[in-house]
Chains A and B, each alone.
Chain A
Amino acid sequence: MKNKYIFGGTIIIVFLGLMIYLFTQTNVQYESSFVKVMASGKTVKATGSWVKEKGYQLDKRNKTFSFYIQDENGNLMKVVYKGAMPNNFESSTSVVVTGKYSDGIFYATDILTKCPSKYQEQSVQQAGA
């Protein structure tokens, strides 16, 4: 066997093996159905939209930020996030929250807000309808 194949090959094989193992340990699925989010109990990235009518709560005592999100089928879910309200939250069209669901609440460790690139256009269309 050639030395370079032994060395280079070992590194690649060992790390590919480790990578596959860690991938299965750390991968997080995107999930747009809250029924599945609630059933899985695993860490997921739930995608939905903020329910504006229900507002949001900032709990100073526990330093949490909570709100309701809604999936495509209209299922509601309460989200509690340990941290501050993210930038752009109020103007977001969709929200991606990473975390786990347990006992009626989705505990998020991360929030990502998506803002429409042409929100003006959409608001006009809504107004016209």
Chain B
Amino acid sequence: MIGNVALTLALLSAVFSVIMYFLNYRGYKNTLAPARISFHISAIMVLAASALLLQAIMTHQYQYRYVYNYSGSGLPLGLLMSTFYAGQEGSFMLWTLFSSIVGLVLLDYTSKRGDLEQRVMMVYGICLIYLLVMVNPLLKSPFIYIWSQPDFIDLKHINSAYLTLPALQNFLFSDPQSGKQFIQVGPDLLAILKTNNVPLDKFIIEGRGLNPLLQNFWMQIHPPMLFVGFSMAAVPYSFAMAALIKDEYNEWVKQSLPWLLIGTMVLGFAIMLGGYWAYGVLGWGGYWGWDPVENSSLVPWLIAVASIHTMLIQKKTQDKSNNDKLNAGRFVKTNLILSIFVYILVLYSTFLTRSGILGDASVHSFVDPGMMVYLLLLIFLLFFGLLGLGLVFYRWKYLTENFSYEENILSRELALFTGSFALIASAIIILVGTSAPIFGQTVELKFYNELNLPIAIIIGTLNGLSIILKWKTTGKKELLNGIKVPMIISLLLTAIIFIISSFENFMLVILTFSSIFALVVNAEIVLKILRRKKNHAGAYIAHIGIAVFMVGVAATAGYTKNEQIDLVKGEKVELWGYQMNFAGYQPIEGGKKYVFNVEIKDGDDIKVAAPVMYIAEFNNSLMREPDILVGLTKDLYVAPVSYDEVNPSNGGQTVNMKKGDVIDYRGMKIEFTDFVLPEDMTAMMSGGKFKIGANLKVTYNGKTYNLEPFMENSGGQQEFHTAELQEADLKIDLANMNATGGEITIVLQSPSSENIPIQPPKEVLTVDVSIKPFISLVWLGVVVMIIGFVISASRRSKESLA
């Protein structure tokens, strides 16, 4: 209850703060202090509400519906804390929390810079109001009691001490199908609990628990980082709006840049952590599946990266000696629009993933949040979009008259601008593909891969070229000199890779070439710079990272091999030069899960891959966790599919027969007389559905029987049908047919044979094995890129604080 009060107060004081900032900007002198105080109150209330939610989770207060639905007892501390943001309410809460903290830092920063505070905090305050509206007690507050709405709760989650209360008996239900018992909670039950003096926080003693897919290390890191990134996306928006409000475009770039860099770094890192999570733990096979949830956070990131580049140009092209208002630098309009779009796209991402509109399109599961939330998400998206772009439109005439420039064709400005547009093109493509489900459509993954490949090539090339090109203009000779050495080195390297690996996809060869080119150019610069100005190396290091990343992407995309194999315990299987052996399984974690040991022998080296499978109680379904043998040049990825104990066929005899052959089998004569061909031969020719069988004449005890095992084929799918002769205790399986060669392979069995000793069942583990070459470069590239971002952000922060 106190939580809801805190959230309501936070909302009210945030609204008050925005109004006060607005009035102060319009000239009302004594409103600045109230604006600041109420912003602080709002932030303190959000902190308090977050602390209360955390406390409710830590102390298992299952009377809150949110805690009941997403948390549970028996979780280790880290995972228990991460149930804070396991559901929609809590993740909005986390976003609000981070936004409040970022807001406090932003307030401190802007308050030292004239009237910047009023303009920036006014806009940022509105962004905060959006989140506070979402978590208000009428919508998605995590502090709503479970009895506020009728719901059924598993009886085993209820404190059994109170179940004997006679008044409760009317609320008990049982489901004959599953044998489970439930209690109906709701306002009526609450009234009864109160009249019987049942302590409300002791009535429900267990929660539904955390989804097992989320129960791993990355759950504690990935979502918080993502929401820090989301929170920081509102900052460049606020700075851009602040510039538009005052109609002055000089200062904001310098001020906004460090915030943008840090936000982009955190968001990018969060996205790739998600990729690593999907690859290493969830067993989705790869690091990127173009899933709507992944895509919708990638799109704002791409735009943020594009805007970093154009903002840098604007900053660089400002004349430092000239304080004139019109000396704002290049790409003023582009920067305003991109900064606004970063935040709008974060909101759009939220709309796509939170409104339930993508219901059928994603592997992530979505809860339908109800019409009200859907509408509000849409309204806020439109509001912030119209507010931002409307203001740009309002200033458009002034902007075009004063900030239109021409760039030289051989300038770094133009190269960076073109690179940014390549990023924008990629963002648009991903956005369209991801939004398609709104119109009842969806695209195949090919759509993303084929379109982004040429863009990646353009970006790779510009990554190198833009650094060779000088600011303003470059002589043709200079360009040739700069390009010569890296070009030769990368051509040679690509040629070597091409020969060694026999690339089949030509586009991937070009991508490799352009990435290596970028790598060489940037590495050259870094080596030069590191001797002199270390803090200037950030951008180049980040670019080396992205180049390494792209080489890794090209290698894994072009060379991943994948095979599903059955491993019978004790029987070795050869695959790609490895010898694989299923060595059995053991229970782990107190018998909750099973680990399956697959010995993989590569030459003399034996390693054990240990994928895990278990049945999760949470949703009563099979969970599979892959295991990866990480190598420098390739990962061997072993994902479990199924485990079976197969009873071997009891002593069947396999026989090859030609037409007219007669064999003896346990005193029977079996003759293969003829094939039974389909009546309609056209179906067979056209690959349609048809049956083809073998006629077998069996003589037993002087009687003759005709048996006809057959194969049914439809669209390349073959099904074999057995024929049985009960009198003779004979079963004939058709194993193979070769109609043109006039040959069949049959398996003869005695269904009831008791004289044959029973063999122990075979243990069969089916696994999906894949080789992912150079996926290590993908992760290495990301890490290097993040290091570059950190150096860059610290340099720009110092500049902007100066």
Contacts and interface: CB of A to CB of B under 8 A. Distances in A.
B447 interface: yes
Contacts of A107: 715
A23 B718 contact: no
A127 B173 CA distance: 9
Contacts of A83: 564
Contacts of B182: 120, 124
A73 interface: no
A87 B621 contact: yes
A117 B455 contact: no
B440 A30 contact: yes
Contacts, number: 156
Nearest to B182: A124
Interface in B415-473: 417-418, 420-422, 424-425, 428-429, 432-433, 436-437, 440-444, 446-447, 450-451, 454-455, 458
Contacts of B766: 63, 84
Contacts of A72: none
Interface stretch (B74-82, B227-235, B359-367, B769-777): B359-367
B603 interface: no
Nearest to B208: A120
A55 interface: no
Interface in B743-785: 766, 768
B450 A15 contact: no
SS of A interface (majority): mixed
B195 interface: no
A27 B436 contact: yes
Interface string A73-90: 000000010011101111
Interface size range on B against A: 35 or more
A102 B174 CA distance: 44
A4 B407 contact: yes
Nearest to B716: A107
A114 interface: yes
A19 B451 contact: yes
A115 interface: yes
A35 interface: no
Contacts of B408: 3
Interface string B713-745: 011011100000000000000000000000000
Nearest to B178: A123
A54 to B, nearest CB: 16
B206 to A, nearest CB: 14
Interface string B391-415: 0000000000000001111000010
A103 B689 contact: yes
A16 B359 CA distance: 27
Contacts of A127: 173-177
A10 B443 CA distance: 24
Contacts of B178: 123
Nearest to A18: B451
Contact of A96 (B360, B420, B441): B360
A121 B151 contact: yes
Interface size range on A against B: 35 or more
Given A22-B447, A26-B447, A62-B718, A117 B421 contact: no
Contact of A23 (B422, B432, B440, B620): B432
Contact of B154 (A2, A104, A120): A120
B428 A19 contact: yes
Contact of B418 (A8, A115, A128): A8
Nearest to A78: B714
A55 B508 CA distance: 44
Nearest to A107: B715
B705 interface: no
B642 interface: yes
A11 B421 contact: yes
B619 interface: yes
B180 A120 contact: yes
B177 A45 contact: no
B367 A117 contact: yes
A69 to B, nearest CB: 14
Interface in A86-129: 87-91, 96, 102-105, 107, 112, 114-115, 117-118, 120-121, 123-124, 126-128
A64 interface: yes
Contacts of A3: 406-409, 414
Given A11-B418, A19-B451, A117-B365, A123 B175 contact: yes
**Most B CB atoms within 10 A — which of A4, A16, A123?**
A4
Interface in B137-185: 151-154, 173-178, 180, 182
Contacts of A87: 621-624
Interface in A39-76: 43, 45, 47, 58-60, 62-64
A124 B446 contact: no
A60 B619 contact: no
Given A7-B417, A88-B619, 19 more contacts: A3-B414, A4-B417, A12-B425, A15-B425, A15-B429, A18-B451, A19-B428, A19-B432, A19-B451, A22-B446, A23-B433, A23-B443, A30-B437, A58-B642, A60-B646, A83-B564, A112-B363, A123-B178, A128-B173
Q: Which 8 pairs between the two chains have the least Cβ-Cβ distance?
A: A8-B421, A15-B425, A84-B641, A26-B444, A88-B621, A7-B418, A26-B447, A127-B175
15 contacts: A3-B406, A4-B406, A11-B422, A15-B425, A16-B428, A26-B443, A45-B360, A60-B644, A84-B766, A114-B365, A115-B619, A120-B152, A120-B154, A124-B182, A127-B176
